[in-house]
Amino acid sequence: MAVFTKKKGILIYHYDAETVRIEPWGENAFRIRATKNAAFTDDDWALSMKTENIDAQIHIDEKTAFIKNGKIRAEITRAGKLTFYNGAGKVLLEEYLRNRKDVFADYCSALEIEAREFKPNIGGDYHLSMRFVSGKNEKIFGMGQYQQPYLDLKGTDLELAQRNSQASVPFMISSLGYGFLWNNPAVGRVIFGKNITTWEAYSTKQLDYWITAGDTPAEIEESYAKATGTVPMMPEYAMGFWQCKLRYQTQEELLNVAREYKKRGLPISVIVIDYFHWPLQGDWRFDPKYWPDPDAMVRELKDMGIELMVSIWPTVDRRSENYEEMLEKGYLVRTERGFRIVMDFQGNTIHYDATNPEARKYLWDKAKKNYYDKGIKTFWLDEAEPEYSVYDFENYRYYLGPNVQIGNIYPELYAKTFYDGMTAEGQENVINLLRCAWAGSQKYGALVWSGDIHSSFSSLRNQVAAGLNMGIAGIPWFTTDIGGFHGGNPDDPAFRELLIRWFEYGTFCPVMRLHGDREPHKPPMGSEGGAACVSGADNEVWSFGDEAYEILCGYLVLREKMKPYITELMKAAHEKGTPVMRPLFYDMPDDPKAWEVEDQYMFGPDVLVAPILFEGARSREVYLPAGTEWTNYWTGEKVAGGQTITADAPLAQIPLFTRNGREF
């Protein structure tokens, strides 16, 4: 017979080999853990905060037990079925259980399907499946970024794994009034099916998730931020325009671009040195042949009011000056079979092991000596998934365990490598650019961009959904390669139109960043080291013709005018975890139509953005949420909410509406 016990405010269920812990974890929230092992592990993973002295109510009787924490109540039956309710007694989430342990229960069935299925793997751990009843008419948002145009994730099948342009951040908000964190960094899968929602971890020791209830999406998001941490306050310079391309090949080339921006009187806050400015991957230093005086370069840029960002890769070439030492000390990712090579781009390389605290310190010490001490205070932490030439998740092993079991946390610990080093030097308001994230990455100053995406309107449509779902997943700092990464000829009229529309959208992203691998490529400057790597065509705002230049300059000025407003948004993200860009329902949850719109968004509470997402479009339908009056930014026309209008969108204008008297 099942046994219910309570201990220090925790409700515990025990049956056969399984133990389940239901523990208050923050206001209106529970952490649920279950295992068939002798004991639970001590890992908190994404959860960084536990509120002490929560006055939870626990009641146990013969057939059921429940625990209540503010607006959420969990009930578990003698058969082990868990159901969560809100403060009004409405079901939020219930496990999908079909067995015969209780012949009088509504889940009595000959199917014999367990809600919490621990299927043994060879070696002692488990392939875990967690099943819930799929909520009727439920909408699901968050989960990080996937290259698809869907904002509502109901009906989708998502891989819980990190890949180039895919970031698994397993926190979701439901339209039913709860937030759910799958607190497990194992590679796996989630299916938000019509009948059943199934979460899977392909190799793990225990079940671990966190759930919260709230009256509004904002309340749920803020509860999650309290549990996992918030971003630092974004530094003022990062709110401006970032200039980047693949790739500036020399110190003088980069400085000439910065000088040209200043000569033209154009706003620019950050300029970026991309990959292969080093002799070999894993050297983590400038190649002196092409970057002869980094100290002078940084000084000149700072005199112009420009911050320099430098690319860091986690890869170590077997020929690198640091390879043998890192191999000897155990600082490199291991392979279970085959050659110890995990990526073969411009050399045979292995990643540093970000899960090893000593390896993190080693990398930071190199970066501090060769970059930070020269005045470089922000880094581009590329390849953050990390990217593999072959995504054989079972073949790689880290200090903390097998990749298949803990690998999704790699980008968070990569961010932590630099955050810890920079804060130890006394730096505040850390911001570093990464190509991936996991739950909790935000607290380490992670600005995430959407990876090496295609230059096309279909790709642009995907980025709108990706950015909004990243914000809901708790990563409020998001950006894209304006114009897309792969391809795009600056002389092609079709690409120029795409670039303009993407630039308009990028103006209303948390970070405005121009980047890409433009065509045709410039030839390599040499045959050794970084010089052997190609460079793309020009990618500055004056590279796309006179018409585009005039339009882009207008948006650079608009971004500067918005800085006081953007500062307000970044303060809310820092203090409460509020997404900077978010779906309409976040600010207007009582408007049913606001939950349906997937191709518009709010940039903060007062600016509605409706990007142009199709080639040749010069107008589009825009839904203006009810309960407020909207102002067309371009014409000043007042428009009542609660209706869909057709907004003009000439090439130079993105449909833009403000409220609450907001002006720029």
At residue 371, the 3 state secondary structure works out as coil
Same domain, 258 and 220: no
> What's residue 413's pLDDT?
99
Q: Residue 663 domain-assigned?
A: no
- Cα separation, 262 vs 268, in Å, equals 8
Q: Are 125 and 135 in contact (CB under 8 A)?
A: no
Question: What's CA 660's distance to the chain center, in Å?
Answer: 30
Mean pLDDT of the chain: 97
End residue of a domain, out of 553, 576, 599: 576
Q: Residue 141 domain-assigned?
A: yes
Specify the CATH number for the domain of residue 632: 2.60.40.1180
Q: Residue 88 pLDDT > 90, yes or no?
A: yes
Query: Using one digit for the tens of pLDDT, what is the confidence trace for 540-560?
Result: 999 999 999 999 999 999 999
Roughly how many angstroms between the first and final C-alpha of the chain, as a whole number? 67
Same domain, 210 and 241: no
> What's residue 53's pLDDT?
74
With a CB cutoff of 8 Å and minimum separation 6, the contacts of 8 are: none
Q: Which of 44, 215, 452, 519 is catalytic?
A: 452
> What's residue 528's pLDDT?
83
Q: Which domain holds residue 175?
A: 3-228
Whether 382 is a known active-site residue: answer yes
Q: Residue 561 domain-assigned?
A: yes
- Cα separation, 227 vs 29, in Å, equals 9
Q: Which of 208, 221, 283, 382 is catalytic?
A: 382
Percent of the chain having pLDDT more than 90? 93
The mean per-residue pLDDT over the stretch 583-598 comes to 99
End residue of a domain, out of 161, 196, 228: 228
Specify the CATH number for the domain of residue 77: 2.60.40.1760
- Cα separation, 531 vs 383, in Å, equals 20
Query: Using one digit for the tens of pLDDT, what is the confidence trace for 488-499?
Result: 999 999 999 999
Q: Are 562 and 664 in contact (CB under 8 A)?
A: yes
Q: Are 630 and 600 in contact (CB under 8 A)?
A: no
- Cα separation, 547 vs 505, in Å, equals 18
Same domain, 386 and 435: yes
Q: Residue 389 domain-assigned?
A: yes
Whether 385 is a known active-site residue: answer yes
- Cα separation, 461 vs 612, in Å, equals 9
Q: Residue 664 domain-assigned?
A: no
Same domain, 306 and 157: no
End residue of a domain, out of 228, 246, 276: 228
Same domain, 333 and 402: yes
- Cα separation, 69 vs 11, in Å, equals 12
Split into its structural domains, the chain has a count of: 3
Same domain, 269 and 251: yes
Considering only CA atoms, give the Rg of the chain: 25
- Cα separation, 386 vs 281, in Å, equals 14
Q: Residue 432 domain-assigned?
A: yes
Confidence of residue 101 (pLDDT cuts 50, 70, 90): confident
CA nearest to 243, candidates 256, 228, 226, 227? 256
Q: Which of 385, 412, 497, 599 is catalytic?
A: 385
Same domain, 534 and 648: no
Whether 538 is a known active-site residue: answer no
Same domain, 169 and 272: no
Same domain, 511 and 530: yes
> What's residue 527's pLDDT?
85
The mean per-residue pLDDT over the stretch 282-293 comes to 98
Q: Residue 137 domain-assigned?
A: yes
Same domain, 216 and 331: no
Same domain, 249 and 339: yes
Query: Using one digit for the tens of pLDDT, what is the confidence trace for 452-499?
Result: 999 999 999 999 999 999 999 999 999 999 999 999 999 999 999 999
Same domain, 45 and 133: yes
Specify the CATH number for the domain of residue 362: 3.20.20.80
The mean per-residue pLDDT over the stretch 235-253 comes to 98
